[in-house]
Copies of this chain bind each other. A is one copy, B any other.
Amino acid sequence: MTHGTQPGPAASGTPTAPAAPGRLSPAEARALFRAGLVTPTAGYSDGYAQANLLIVPKAQAFDVLLFAQRNPKACPVLGVLDAGETSSELLAGGDIRTDVPRYTVYEDGVLVDSPTDLGAVWREDLVTFILGCSFSFEAALREGDVPVAHIEQGVNVPMFRTNRACAPAGSMSGPLVVSMRPIPASQVADAVRITSRYPAVHGAPVHVGDPEALGIEDLSRPDFGDPVQIAAGTVPVFWACGVTPQAAVMQSKPALAIGHAPGHMLITDLKNSALQLP
């Protein structure tokens, strides 16, 4: 991993994945990623909220914040770093330029790079949006004995572009992207009840059953993530997905935008339990 124009450490200096990532504090996990570990973050720092990332120049920041306000289920804002700020109480002692295992860099809406730090692209006018992620409500579902199929199957959650447009905001527009989890029919009500209590991490489903109505023709062919086996007796349940802001970037084509690589999240100091209502 390189930081700015400094040469990176020798390969022998790169940390290896820990044996018990769930027991790491968020600060410990971020330090590993800062030191060069590159890995998906599922299973790290049990009990703490992982987050989606979207970084744009200040000139686009109002449009992004308004887009988030108008599409709160897809883009729940946990925190915003002012232009040029690289840390906050959500990542105490950390650095947003280094503490995510892998980033995505979009120029004019096109993915141009997936660096492991932002030394080469950071600018003082960049505003960082930290957005809630479904990992938090998945922990609550499992605690509530609602099975989460893609976790049991060891794959990434399947995600689909829908035929629904998000509410636009200035230069930002795009489709609603949803994640799908097949839920046993007897537990759909539980899944709604439990996730409703977490509005800061996508909240209640946007759609239950009937994928065709969302313009989804084939549940086995997701637009992002992996297909998941759908057991008999389950109903496909759709939640607004944190990929939505990156889809809006692709459609809206700001000169520069930075996100996290899929599954490579920011691990925050926020406890999932603090996000629960009521």
A interface residues with partner B (beta carbon < 8 Å): 61-62, 65-66, 69-70, 77, 79-80, 82, 169-170, 192-193, 196-197, 199, 203-204, 277-278
Tell me which residues across on chain B come within 8 A of A203, comparing CB atoms.
Answer: 277
One of B82, B192, B277 near A197 (C-beta < 8 A): B277
Could you pull out 19 A-B pairs where Cβ atoms are within 8 angstroms?
A61-B62, A62-B62, A62-B65, A65-B66, A65-B69, A69-B69, A69-B80, A70-B79, A82-B169, A82-B170, A193-B278, A196-B277, A197-B277, A197-B278, A203-B277, A204-B277, A204-B278, A277-B278, A278-B278
Given that A277-B196, A277-B197, A278-B193 are contacting pairs, would A77 and B69 also be in contact in the complex, using a CB cutoff of 8 Å? yes
Whether A70 lies near B62 (C-beta < 8 A) is no
Q: Which residue of B lies closest to A168 (CB)?
A: B82
Give Cα distance in the complex from A173 to B101, angstroms: 34
Q: Which residue of B lies closest to A69 (CB)?
A: B77
Give Cα distance in the complex from A170 to B83, angstroms: 10
